[in-house]
Amino acid sequence: MAAETEEIRGIGHSVRRVEDDRFIRGAGNFIDDMHLPGMLYMAILRSPYAHAKLNGIDPSRAQALEGVIAVVTGELMAQHNLAWMPTMSGDTQAVLVTDKVRFQGQEVAAVIATDPFAATDALELIDVDYEPLGVVVSPQQAAAAGAPLIRDEKEGQTDNHIYHWEAGDQEATDAAFAQADRVVSLDTWYPRSHPSPLETCGCVADVNPATGQATIYMTSQAPHAIRTVFALVTGLPEEKIRIVSPDLGGGFGNKVPVYPGYVVATAASLLLGHPVKWIEERSENLISTGFARDYHMHGELALKADGTMTGLRVSLDADEGAFFADAQPSKFKVGLFHIVSGSYDLPTAHVSADGYYTNKAPGGVAYRCSFRVTEASYMIERLVQNAAYEIGIDPAEFRKKNFIEKDQFPYKSATGFEYDSGDYQGAMDLALEKVGYDQLRKEQAEARKEGRLIGIGLASFTEVVGAGPHKDYDILGLKMNDGAELRIHPTGKAILKISSKTQGQGHETTFAQIVASELGIQPEDIKVMHGDTDNTPYGLGTYASRSTPTVGAATAMVSRKLRDKARKLAAHLLEVSEDDVEFEAGRFTVKGAPDKAVTIQDAAFAAYTNFPDGMEAGLEGVTYYDPPNLTFPFGTYAVVVEVDAETGVWKVDRMVAVDDCGVRINPMIVEGQIHGGLCEGFGIAAMEQITFDEEGNCIGANFLDYLLPTAWETPRFELGATVTPSPHHPIGAKGVGESATVGSPAAFVNAVIDALWPLGVRNIDMPLTSGKVWEAIQAAKAG
């Protein structure tokens, strides 16, 4: 690899994000910035009921409103065989309701009008006859005898159960528990939360009636996969569909699913011969689009008397909402949850999971996490801290005793993962040192004597990212491999086309840096294109921290392919044999005669002007990368809190985050990703939660009810890094985008529990509002 010189600013340099230039100037190109000639506007009527039979819809008053062009109903969609669509999990989902509504906020009808205000006003004039039905808002209710059947349209579906899934060795795990000196258990619920991207979802569908070409500008993290699904849903030939995902104002998993709005807008454009724009309002986004989490979990650790872990048993009930719609590898119904053994050397483990339909919006998106790893990480890190206290060992000591050690990698976990690399002790040592752990424990003991409740919480998490190897990872049968296409122009400037889709992570900067390191072309001379299915190679998109492990690898590999050809061109220009040519930092030199040199730019020019006989002209190529394994970033987070026992208010004094994502392409961007993730982790631990009342009304439809942390509440973060390269990744990088959200909630909660443990508090479910903390203290006091 070329040296990462100051001049070239490849891997390891904190290059400023090229994207920011247009964003800071307000010159980004988001969906709502788009205006096409003759464009119409769509608004969606959503159900006020969570479960209700649809007896009829009368659109006549709405249709009479000035500016209204059409009212689209489920019946109309059914005439075109579009009333239902497949989900990314192989289930089906109603596009517009034909039989009954199954969650509050479900799409019932759509109005197409000449302006957005007429479209919205007309919604109130659609008369719908609903007949309310019994409502199910939890997996426990869903499983209860006599529960209302939510998916009665599905042939053979007689209850609300979706799947049962298991991993690990049940027999061996049961044996470990039978022989255990001690068993520690924890019941916990990871509440439903919302990714809440700044920009809501939307699209502009433009179907050309003359050519049949459908161009759909869309807020999508996975344009290629969406195009394939669209082709399957609409029957349109795939080459006639172009999905363009322009600038995205955040995604966080919320922009992975196919939403009915996209399908209805496309159908309306097809039927009306005009482009149709649909933009969600904030409350629609919060009520009806991809939620995350909602896992009710039970975990047990089998332990020897000295604190050695010998087995792990976890069972969970997943609230999937009314349609099982989250995109995740099809082999794993609960994503990669079986990483629940975390950073620990557990000889046996068994995980079982049951999914249920409820009268809630479909959820389970990979919200800043690799397919349910956040839930898993939370479970094990909470359980480990409680186990340490039950046994009477300091939680840091307890982790150290049970960590997978550095020399055990590659390590085969009890639930089937092969961890590529790790140094858990190294990350924890650094975090403990940075936070001043030993001193803090002394201060904590002193403070307790004065009646002050200080808590120190740790989380030593392991992420698993980069899905994935084709053998095990696909979504709807589409293998999770990704591509990069690189073309170097005659003047030595380049264009890199990637299958991932940046939503604020800075791919236009970091992927150019990978090419810069491999080829010695400066990042500013490399344009990175993404998000347009006609102009980028196929791939499954950006979520679950998969871009660096997959597309980053493809980028390095295609650069190497071009470097090999450029070496041939350099040999031709230097009139030496290829074996005599060396490469470093964008220069090909003759071995032993470093003054005889040509640059990568010279070689590129020769590829179009002066190439040897028998060689094809040009300098371009494409690579699809099939990763040999996932990558396993990790870290240790340490949080210090003080809890006011009188009020339950807790505040964060310190937050130290040590992350290891292997080689950092752009350390500044990595730190930005970690800051974002820590902030989200704090929000989930402290204040974010979408609740539902017993009638299925969603409480959390606006940012007054759904509390996102602002700069006011968010604590200061102190970051640290260790570097353990992934041995199989071409540049040794592991993904990082989600790690901090995965790792941090447990650290915050553990800190509060640490403060309250001596009072007898063992567990509080997130979010830890002051009211809940106060109640837990009172309950513990009452015995």
Active centre residues (catalytic): 221, 368-369, 738
Residue 662 Cβ vs ligand CDP, minimum distance, rounded to whole Å: 5
From candidates 328, 548, 722, 741, binder to ligand CDP by CB under 6 A: 548
Least distance in angstroms from the C-beta of 191 to ligand CDP: 23
- Binding of ligand CDP by 9 (CB under 6 A): no
Task: Pick the piece of the chain touching ligand CDP (CB under 6 A) from 193-201, 303-311, 398-406, 499-507.
Answer: 499-507
- What does residue 538 show for φ and ψ, rounded to 5 degrees? -65, 150
Q: Which of 510, 555, 636, 750 binds ligand CDP (CB under 6 A)?
A: 510
What gap in Å lies between CA 400 and CA 369, rounded to an integer?
Answer: 25
Question: What whole-number distance in Å separates Cα of residue 459 and Cα of residue 31?
Answer: 39
Compare residues 673 and 714 and give the one whose CB is closer to ligand CDP: 673
Counting residues that bind ligand CDP (by CB under 6 A) gives 23
- Closest by CA to 94, choosing from 59, 44, 138, 140, is 44
Min separation Cβ 537 and ligand CDP, Å: 16
From the CB of 508, what's the least distance to ligand CDP, in Å?
A: 9
* Binding window for ligand CDP (CB under 6 A); candidates: 95-103, 290-298, 544-552, 678-686: 544-552
Q: How far is CA 560 from the centre of its chain?
A: 29
CB-nearer residue toward ligand CDP: 118 or 201: 201
DSSP element (H, E) containing 690: none
Write the binding mask 722 to 751 for ligand CDP: x where contact by CB under 6 A, - elsewhere.
Answer: -----------xxxxx--------------
Nearer Cβ to ligand CDP, position 215 or 542?
Answer: 542
Q: In the bound complex, what is the minimum distance in angstroms from residue 555's beta carbon to ligand CDP?
A: 10
| SS3 per-residue string spanning 127-146 | EEEEEECCCCCCHHHHHCCC
CA distance 578 to 566: 10
Asked whether the bond before 410 is cis by omega within 30 degrees of 0, the reply is yes
Least distance (Å) between residue 482 CB and ligand CDP? 10
Q: Among residues 176 and 512, whose Cβ is nearest to ligand CDP?
A: 512
Q: Does 665 bind ligand CDP (CB under 6 A)?
A: yes
**Would you state the structure tokens that stand for residue 319, as one six-digit string?**
């609230």
Residue closer to ligand CDP (CB basis): 87 or 547: 547
Single residue of 321, 506, 586, 635 touching ligand CDP by CB under 6 A: 506
* Contact set for ligand CDP, span 404-433 (CB under 6 A): none
Least distance from ligand CDP to the Cβ atom of residue 467, Å: 11
Nearer Cβ to ligand CDP, position 581 or 736?
736
* Amino acid letter, 218: M
Q: Which residue is nearest to ligand CDP (CB)?
A: 737
Closest by CA position to 157, among listed 147, 166, 165, 167: 147
Beta carbon nearer to ligand CDP, 678 or 751: 678
Residue (395 or 541) nearer to ligand CDP, CB: 541
Q: Residue 468: is the preceding peptide bond cis (ω within 30°)?
A: yes
Closest by alpha carbon to 202, among 124, 275, 259, 241?
Answer: 259
62-70, 305-313, 656-664, 743-751 -> range binding ligand CDP (CB under 6 A): 656-664
Cα–Cα nearest to 418, from 480, 462, 371: 462
- The stretch near ligand CDP (CB under 6 A) out of 37-45, 297-305, 620-628, 659-667 is 659-667
How many of the other CB atoms lie within 10 Å of CB of 305? 9
Structure tokens at 111: 């109005």
- Please choose, out of 405-413, 452-460, 476-484, 501-509, the segment that lies near ligand CDP by the rule CB under 6 A: 501-509
Q: Is there a contact between 725 and 732 (Cβ–Cβ < 8 Å)?
A: yes
Determine the interface stretch with ligand CDP among 384-392, 486-494, 667-675, 760-768 (rule: CB under 6 A): 667-675
Task: Please state whether the peptide bond connecting residue 767 to the residue before it is cis, i.e. omega within 30 degrees of 0.
Answer: yes
Closest to ligand CDP by CB, 42 vs 484, is 484
Per CB under 6 A, which region of 166-174, 177-185, 375-383, 542-550 contacts ligand CDP?
542-550
Strand 276-279 vs strand 202-207: parallel, antiparallel, or unpaired? antiparallel
**Rounded to the nearest whole angstrom, what is the least distance from the CB of residue 29 to ligand CDP in the complex?**
19
505 binds ligand CDP (CB under 6 A): yes
Residue nearer to ligand CDP on the CB measure, 447 or 663: 663
Among 712, 734, 714, 715, smallest CA distance to 723 is for 734
Q: How far is the CB of 663 from ligand CDP (least distance, A)?
A: 6
Residue 667 near residue 697, CB atoms below 8 Å = no
Tell me how far the alpha carbon of residue 690 is from its chain's centroid: 18
Smallest distance from ligand CDP to CB 341, Å: 22
Asked if 360 is part of the footprint of ligand CDP (rule: CB under 6 A), the reply reads no
Q: x-or-dash pattern for ligand CDP, window 673-692, by CB under 6 A?
A: x-------------------
Rounded least distance, CB 719 to ligand CDP, Å: 14
Measure the CA–CA gap between 570 and 572, rounded to whole angstroms: 5
Of the pair 540, 747, the CB lying nearest ligand CDP is at: 540
Alpha-carbon gap, residue 547 to 552, rounded angstroms: 6
Name, in order, each residue with C-beta under 8 angstroms of 733's C-beta and a sequence gap of 6 or more.
Answer: 548, 549, 552, 631, 661, 662, 663, 664, 665, 725, 726
CB of 770 to ligand CDP, least distance (A): 33
Question: What number of other Cβ atoms are within 10 A of residue 389's Cβ?
Answer: 17
Would you count residue 507 as binding ligand CDP (CB under 6 A)? Answer: yes
Angle subtended by helix axes 667-686 and 739-756, to nearest 10 = 40
Q: Rank residues 351 and 733 by Cβ distance to ligand CDP and give the closer one.
A: 733
The letter for the amino acid at 563 is: R
542 binds ligand CDP (CB under 6 A): yes
Least separation in angstroms between residue 386's CB and ligand CDP is: 30
Helix (H, G, I), strand (E, B) or coil at 651: strand
Q: Are strands 68-73 and 107-113 parallel, antiparallel or unpaired?
A: antiparallel
- By CB under 6 A, tell whether 468 contacts ligand CDP: no
Interaction with ligand CDP in 58-87: which residues (CB under 6 A)?
Answer: none
3-state SS of 591-649 is: CCEEEEEEEHHHHHHHHHHCCCCCCCCCCEEEEEECCCCCECCEEEEEEEEEECCCCCC
Q: Which residue from 401, 266, 425 is spatially nearest to 345, judged by alpha carbons? A: 401
Q: Which of 547, 559, 722, 741 binds ligand CDP (CB under 6 A)?
A: 547
Q: Which residue has the tokens 């939403």?
A: 259
Q: Does residue 328 interact with ligand CDP by CB under 6 A?
A: no
Region from 421-429, 439-447, 608-616, 663-671 binding ligand CDP, contact rule CB under 6 A: 663-671
At residue 575, the 3 state secondary structure works out as coil
Residue 637: strand pairing partners: 459, 657
Q: Is 359 in the site for ligand CDP (CB under 6 A)?
A: no
Identify the CA nearest to 321 among candidates 506, 175, 152, 192.
192
- Is residue 545 part of the contact set for ligand CDP (CB under 6 A)? yes
Q: Between 444 and 739, whose beta carbon lies closer to ligand CDP?
A: 739
CA-CA distances (angstroms) from residue 197 to 184, 252, 563? 38, 7, 39
- 238: DSSP letter: G
Q: Give the interface with ligand CDP as residue ranges (CB under 6 A).
A: 505-507, 510, 542, 545-548, 661-666, 669-670, 673, 733-737
